[in-house]
Amino acid sequence: MRKKIVAGNWKMNKDCDEALLLFKEINSLLQNTTAKQVEVIVLPSFIFIRDFVSLSFKIAVGAQNCSTEDAGAYTGEVSAAMIRSAGASYVIVGHSERRSYFSETNSMLSKKINAALKNNLIPIYCVGETLNQRNSGNHFKIIEQQITEGLFHLNNEQFKKTVIAYEPVWAIGTGNTATTSQAQEMHAFIRKVVAQKYGNDMANSCSVLYGGSCNAQNAKELFACPDIDGGLIGGASLKAKDFVQIVQSF
């Protein structure tokens, strides 16, 4: 059985008081629900990780990025070891905003994946095509390349710990969710690419999340697709009720 996951990517939102309030709200709403076996993850700014870990009942906490480097003179960077020491258990690697605004390449991201795994963080590796790439028919090629160059240096033991998130860039923050057939088609393709390298068992046990305007209204339909194992949620994760409703959408 694959792990079902709903992860809230808060991006660069919420100040200290607002973040604490939202986390507590999600925490208490989740306590009163009988959600099926779902791993719920909140990924706030680095500065909130430690507080959230100490407050959490059953929410796992993660970071949105980590450095390629272990330690040293890298002003402004945050290492995977630091994130782990704050109590986090996940880290997003290769979100499309990092790829486009901060010029993160597949080869750089493969180093971040190594840094995460070395420090016992589970990487959530994001892949996704732009609208131009989809319109020109290159979307499968792009996704395959992102997966191959970012992850395929891993051995079986390492790959087993990795989560993949398919987030079409044109769907992120735009309200244009991929249709269930577009999403399912790409998720099945991702699983096929993984199977070619690591075999069917590995492909069938790898959680592949969908992200891009996933919300309380469309989550049920998306999560019902056979190859979609949950969601990486941006905007809708900033509203406690919506986020918890998404958690209950399996």
Task: Give yes or no for a contact between 134 and 101, defined as CB atoms under 8 angstroms apart.
Answer: no
How many binding residues for ligand PGA (CB under 6 A)?
Answer: 13
User: Binding ligand PGA by CB under 6 A: which of 16, 173, 217, 241?
Assistant: 173
Q: Which is nearer to ligand PGA, 202 or 225 (CB)?
A: 225
Residues β-bridged to residue 165: 126, 209
What's the CA gap between 99 and 112, in Å, rounded?
13
Say which of 95, 97, 129, 139 is annotated catalytic.
Answer: 95
What's the CA gap between 236 and 95, in Å, rounded?
17
Smallest distance, ligand PGA to C-beta of residue 77, A: 22
- Closest to 234 measured CA to CA, from 16, 64, 89, 84: 64
Q: Is 172 an interacting residue with respect to ligand PGA (CB under 6 A)?
A: yes
What's the CA gap between 152 and 3, in Å, rounded?
21
Amino acid at 72: G
Q: Is 128 an interacting residue with respect to ligand PGA (CB under 6 A)?
A: no
Smallest distance, ligand PGA to C-beta of residue 226, A: 22
Q: Is 230 an interacting residue with respect to ligand PGA (CB under 6 A)?
A: no
Torsional sign, CA 166, 170, 171, 172? positive
What's the CA gap between 167 and 146, in Å, rounded?
12
CB closest to ligand PGA, residue no: 234
Q: Which is nearer to ligand PGA, 173 or 199 (CB)?
A: 173
Q: Is 242 an interacting residue with respect to ligand PGA (CB under 6 A)?
A: no
Angle formed at CA 87 by CA 90 and CA 66, multiple of 5 degrees = 45
Kind plus residue range of the DSSP H or E element containing 80: helix 80-85
Smallest distance, ligand PGA to C-beta of residue 95, A: 6
Task: Tell the burial category of 48 from Cβ atoms under 10 Å away from its Cβ (0-12, 13-18, 19+).
Answer: buried
Smallest distance, ligand PGA to C-beta of residue 159, A: 22
Per the annotation, the verdict on 95 as an active-site residue is yes
Q: Is 213 an interacting residue with respect to ligand PGA (CB under 6 A)?
A: yes
Q: Which is nearer to ligand PGA, 82 or 124 (CB)?
A: 124
Q: Is 214 an interacting residue with respect to ligand PGA (CB under 6 A)?
A: yes
User: Binding ligand PGA by CB under 6 A: which of 233, 240, 244, 246?
Assistant: 233
Q: Which pair of structure tokens corresponds to residue 210?
A: 């969908």
**Residues belonging to the active site:** 95, 167
Residues that bind ligand PGA (CB under 6 A): 9, 167, 172-173, 211-214, 232-236
